[in-house]
Chains A and B, each alone.
Chain A
Amino acid sequence: MKGLVLCLVLAASFAPAAQATVVPAPERQRQLIRMVRQDCGSCHGMTLKGGLGSPLLPQDLRDKPPTSLVATVLYGRAGTAMPPWQSKLDPAEAAWIVEQLLNGFPNE
């Protein structure tokens, strides 16, 4: 079942604007924004300009397929410091984060 949801989300994110089908509730969105700025920020920088992790600004991600970015967030990248976040984020949340990253990530 989890797999199915993932497939759906991945399929949805093939759409040009990387629209997430399931939008997290406003309260959860606030948590996710804080998490990305603070926790992802410990490697990617609070302004997402990069650090130990690569920069995550729109111009850095524009040419990369959103599906693979969502997969990177959920499963991490072996051999690098990028950890898997699937215990903290469900696929829809990861897709929403990637969509926000591509559009310019909101401030807290």
Chain B
Amino acid sequence: MKRLVAIGALCLAACAQQPQLALRGSGDLGVVIERASGRVAVVDNSAAAVLGSVDGLGDLSHASVVFSRDGRYAYVFGRDGGLSKVDLLTRQLERRVVQAGNSIGGAISQDGRIVVAQNYEPGGIKAFDARTLELLADIPSTYGAEGKRSKVVGLADLPGNRFAYALFDAGEIWIADLSAPRQPKLSKFRDVGRQPYDGLVTPDGRYYLAGLFGEDGVALVDLWRPEQGARKILAAYGRGEEKLPVFKMPHLRGWAVAGRRAYLPAVGRHEVLVVDTATWQEVGRIPVKGQPVFVMARPDGRQVWVNFALPDNGWVQVIDTLDDRLLATLAPGKAVLHLEFSPKGEQVWISARDDDRVLIYDTESLKQVGSLVAQNPSGIFFTSRAARIGF
């Protein structure tokens, strides 16, 4: 009885702090990064509403987010090396560690128990217990004879609690097996190409691709047959022509794949490259309005949406994948930084940084159907990512 009273008192104290949190699930939630303010807005996807915000997350330029399997927690990776665990239901910062000087993103393991950060400075990856954020493994990206550390890019979770990533300065792809997280096992693919800038794993977990900045092409590893090593695809897409100045690096992720094709940004060109994922041969290229940054397939693969680097960052183009032709050119707002589809793709949310708005489009009518106010919004992330390989 005494115990019961004590619990009652506890509850009273807790409830006093957080009044009226209605019971709800987490599968329809998301976060929008408000990058200038070190804050994330917690959003309800179906209601198209901001539920509240959580601040104190540090420098969120180039922030990215992964979710716990139950969709309750967002792990936010900040530029300043901060890794923050945010509870979307209570909208509180649950834990935060500053784990590096300069970081670029992260991933979560297949079983949801390990969160991994990829770092520029000091270069390498670090693995943390997803519950406590306790450090489990620190794997420096040391390469070459002088023992230099490379910047790490393109981290992706693979089946088997493994992670693939690329070393920008070294031109290597590494796979870390964290099935025993305190005893990581590494496999390395050397000389995959010059300056890999980002990477992705296909939605089935089979292929890892690293886009190259220092040369034309994409490095490819068949993770089912790693003994075959890395090979280069799209090696001549620039046709030896001088590329345009690249004001912003493109981003790669499993959303590149639509049906049996992958749609990839051409670096320094106004083109989207189309590759057959059965043969990895180029099967087409689509001229677009600027240099693509995000090339994202709608979850059903019928459309691909593209945004662009400066000076074309006010446009978004939509490709119909049935005939690989442009379906529409939209002008959603100033400085479009990111897009995120609703879980099954009937809507897409688009952040327009310089308009302080997130625009919501219907993907069939291609009309704007709503908007939200956010301060300098950049990344938008829905909890449906929790269930996808490579997100």
Chain A residues in the interface with B (C-beta under 8 A) = 38-39, 41-43, 45-47, 49-52, 76, 79, 81, 83-85, 87-88, 108
Contacts and interface: CB of A to CB of B under 8 A. Distances in A.
B242 to A, nearest CB: 11
A50 B61 CA distance: 11
Interface of B: 35-36, 59, 61-62, 79-80, 101-102, 104, 120-121, 151, 168, 195, 197, 213-214, 245-249, 310-311, 335, 353
Contact of A81 (B36, B195, B311, B335): B195
B215 to A, nearest CB: 11
Closest CB pairs A-B (n = 10):
A46-B61, A83-B245, A84-B245, A42-B248, A45-B79, A41-B61, A47-B59, A83-B246, A83-B247, A50-B102
**Interface residue SS majority, chain B:** loop
Nearest to B248: A42
A101 B35 CA distance: 21
A38 B353 contact: yes
A46 B249 contact: no
A41 B246 CA distance: 14
Nearest to A42: B248
B310 A51 contact: no
Contacts of B61: 41-42, 45-47, 51
Contacts of A85: 245
Given A45-B102, A81-B246, A84-B245, A50 B36 contact: no
Contacts of B151: 52
Given A51-B62, A83-B245, A108 B120 contact: no
Contact of A51 (B102, B195, B245, B247): B102
Contacts of B101: 49
Contacts of A83: 245-247
Contact of A39 (B168, B213, B247, B249): B247
A51 B120 contact: yes
Contact of B59 (A45, A52, A108): A45
A87 B247 CA distance: 11
B33 to A, nearest CB: 12
Contacts, number: 62
A34 to B, nearest CB: 8
19 contacts: A38-B353, A41-B61, A45-B59, A45-B62, A45-B102, A46-B79, A47-B59, A47-B79, A49-B59, A50-B102, A50-B120, A52-B104, A52-B120, A76-B245, A81-B195, A81-B197, A81-B249, A83-B245, A84-B245
Contacts of A50: 102, 120-121
Contacts of A43: 248-249
Nearest to A43: B249
B62 A42 contact: yes
Given A45-B59, A81-B195, A51 B248 contact: no
Contacts of B102: 45, 49-51
A97 to B, nearest CB: 15
A41 B310 CA distance: 13
Given A46-B35, A47-B59, A52 B168 contact: yes
A49 B335 CA distance: 23
A33 B36 CA distance: 14
Contact of A49 (B80, B168, B247): B80
A36 to B, nearest CB: 12
Given A42-B248, A51-B61, 12 more contacts: A39-B247, A42-B61, A46-B59, A46-B79, A49-B102, A50-B121, A52-B249, A81-B195, A81-B197, A81-B249, A83-B245, A88-B311
Nearest to B61: A46
Contacts of B80: 47, 49
B104 A51 contact: yes
A98 B335 CA distance: 24
Nearest to B153: A52
A4 to B, nearest CB: 24
A47 B197 CA distance: 21
B353 A51 contact: no
A25 to B, nearest CB: 20
Contacts of B214: 79
Given A45-B102, A46-B35, A81-B213, A51 B246 contact: no
A72 to B, nearest CB: 13
A27 to B, nearest CB: 15
